[in-house]
């Protein structure tokens, strides 16, 4: 990405020198600026997400593999810094058993329903939330929950508000676009 836009920039410089029409140069410059703006917003958004869910991401190999090398480095150093900070400011002053970054307390690893407490401390993306999406092709009757109570008929090129969790597969296979 970086190398592509810098080649474009060099081409623009060449244009300026070789006396190509100013209008054309300025149009190419606008095209380049728009592309860079888009790429920067995209990267910034990814970094925001990493910062928010760094603990969650660094726990899972699958999620880590979706990041670029630079992003992985960022996530790692971010997590380390956060852990160090929590350790120094609070955790080191707490009694034994309550001094873990990822766990509320050592003795109660699970609540009485068998759900581990770790989940509560580490911020995770909320996949249960609702999203706006547009279908690309006909999907047909689609089941939203596990037990088949909620079924929607997804028609091509229509706009829906659905729970992300239930359409995750469709998003990943490219049948539906988030908007």
Nearer to another protein, 82 or 144 (CB): 144
The β-bridge relationship of strands 130-135 and 159-163 is: antiparallel
123 binds another protein per the rule CB under 8 A? yes
Exposure b/e, 22-50, CB count within 10 A at least 16 = b: eeeeeebeeeeeeeeeeeeeeeeeeeeeb
Nearer to another protein, 62 or 179 (CB): 179
- Per CB under 8 A, contacts with another protein among 63-122 are 111-112, 115, 117, 119-120
159 binds another protein per the rule CB under 8 A? yes
178 binds another protein per the rule CB under 8 A? no
- Per CB under 8 A, contacts with another protein among 31-50 are 31-32, 34-35, 37, 41, 45, 48-49
Determine the straight-line distance between the first and last CA of the chain, rounded to whole angstroms: 24
Task: Quote the CA–CA distance of 86 and 67 in Å, as a whole number.
Answer: 25
152 binds another protein per the rule CB under 8 A? yes
Angle formed at CA 26 by CA 20 and CA 29, multiple of 5 degrees: 110
Beta bridge partners of 159: 134
Q: Are 176 and 134 in contact (CB under 8 A)?
A: yes
Site residues, another protein (CB under 8 A): 8, 21, 23-24, 26-28, 30-32, 34-35, 37, 41, 45, 48-49, 52, 111-112, 115, 117, 119-120, 123, 125-132, 144-147, 150, 152, 158-163, 179
């Amino acid at each position: 990405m970086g190398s592509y836009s810098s080649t474009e920039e060099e081409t623009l410089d060449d244009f300026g020198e070789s006396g190509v029409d100013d209008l054309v140069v300025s149009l190419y410059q606008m095209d380049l600026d728009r592309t860079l703006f888009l790429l920067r917003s995209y990267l910034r958004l990814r970094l925001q997400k990493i910062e928010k869910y760094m603990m969650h991401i660094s726990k899972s190999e699958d999620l880590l593999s979706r990041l670029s090398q630079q992003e992985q480095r960022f996530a790692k150093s971010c997590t380390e810094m956060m852990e160090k900070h929590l350790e120094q400011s609070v955790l080191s002053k707490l009694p034994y058993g309550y001094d873990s970054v990822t766990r509320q307390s050592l003795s109660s690893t699970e609540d009485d329903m068998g759900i581990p407490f770790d989940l509560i401390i580490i911020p995770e993306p909320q996949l249960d939330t609702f999203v706006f999406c547009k279908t690309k092709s006909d999907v047909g009757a689609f089941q939203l929950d596990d037990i088949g109570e909620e079924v929607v008929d997804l028609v091509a090129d229509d706009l829906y508000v659905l729970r992300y969790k239930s359409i995750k597969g469709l998003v990943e296979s490219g049948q539906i676009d988030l908007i």
